[in-house]
Structure 1
Amino acid sequence: MKLLTNNPKFLNYVNKGIEVDFREVSYLKILEIARDYVHKNYEILTHPMYGSVKPNETLYRSVVLEPKDTLDINSVNLISHAIETFIKFRKNKETPLWQENIKEDFSVIDHDLITNAIERIIK
């Protein structure tokens, strides 16, 4: 399993069977990289638009993927829709230049949601 993320809270994350692919890139770029993985036969295991935070409000995004033998059409559709949705939201309003304490809050939300999802996937 692979954890693709731009959230620095995952820099020292260790969980058996999880490879962390940390990138210092934007939310949109994480979605685009996830799309690239999907085109290399990875399946998306966590929804790329999880949580109740609008995609143009948060800086952090993490996606859990798993290699497969064939192209997963559901993952293709899911990541394509996520990218379209992000672009639509960003056209309405750019991501604010948040203060550090707000960035930290978004980082914690992303970290908690994904670590909980990973625990459920591994069970």
Structure 2
Amino acid sequence: MIITNNNKVYEKYKSDYKIYYKECSFKEILLYVRDRVHEGHILLTHPLSSSIKPNETPYKSVLISDYKESLDYKSLTIIENAILTYDKFKKDKDYTVELTDRIMNDFKIVDLSIIENALK
């Protein structure tokens, strides 16, 4: 299952995979993934994959199992640490940069590329 706030990921994979798409913040995606992990889903990609810091991009796509098992503590630790890292970056580097449509599109393409490679 793909969890994303990137419409390019949604449009490309909506017919091929279970997908949860919502226009929301990066952190809201992390929180949604955490809630799914609590239900028994397993992380299949790291929620902070890529060299782009979480405070620098608004888009995030994460792969999780589409089945549920018992709580996977490794997945839980990873997603909880990702949320803490996100909060730390937002706190330590709280600055606002105007993201033009072109920059936003570039971030969408980078996120899409990461998911494409993970799916291979």
Q: Is the shorter-chain TM-score for this pair beyond 0.5, marking a shared fold?
A: yes
Measured in 2, the distance between the counterparts of 1:25 and 1:75 equals 22
Query: Hey, which of these two has a bigger chunk of strand by percent?
Result: 1
Q: How many angstroms does 1:74 deviate by?
A: 0.4
AA partner of residue 44 (structure 2):
L
> 2:100 corresponds to which residue?
99
Show CA shifts across 1:76-104 (max 9, x none): 00000000000000002235331111111
> 2:21 corresponds to which residue?
22
Instruction: Please state if 1:47 is matched with 2:52.
Output: no
Any conservation in 2 of the 1:13–1:20 contact (CA below 8 Å)? no
Measured in 2, the distance between the counterparts of 1:92 and 1:12 equals 34
Show CA shifts across 1:4-63 (max 9, x none): 000010232237762111011100000000000000000000000000001000000010
- TM-score, normalised via structure 2 length: 0.92
Q: How many angstroms does 1:109 deviate by?
A: 0.4
- Percent identity over the alignment is 38
Any conservation in 1 of the 2:4–2:10 contact (CA below 8 Å)? no
Q: Extract unaligned runs of 5+ from structure 2.
A: none
Instruction: Please state if 1:79 is matched with 2:66.
Output: no
Calculate the aligned-residue CA RMSD, in Å: 1.5
Q: How many angstroms does 1:115 deviate by?
A: 1.1
SS at match of 2:11: coil
Structure 1 consecutive aligned stretches of length 4 or more whose deviation exceeds 6 Å: none
Measured in 2, the distance between the counterparts of 1:47 and 1:102 equals 23
SS at match of 2:64: strand
Measured in 2, the distance between the counterparts of 1:68 and 1:17 equals 20
Q: 1:16 to 1:22 in 2, by over 3 A?
A: closer
SS at match of 1:42: coil
Q: Extract unaligned runs of 5+ from structure 1.
A: none
Number of aligned positions between the proteins? 118
Measured in 1, the distance between the counterparts of 2:97 and 2:34 equals 25
> 2:116 corresponds to which residue?
115
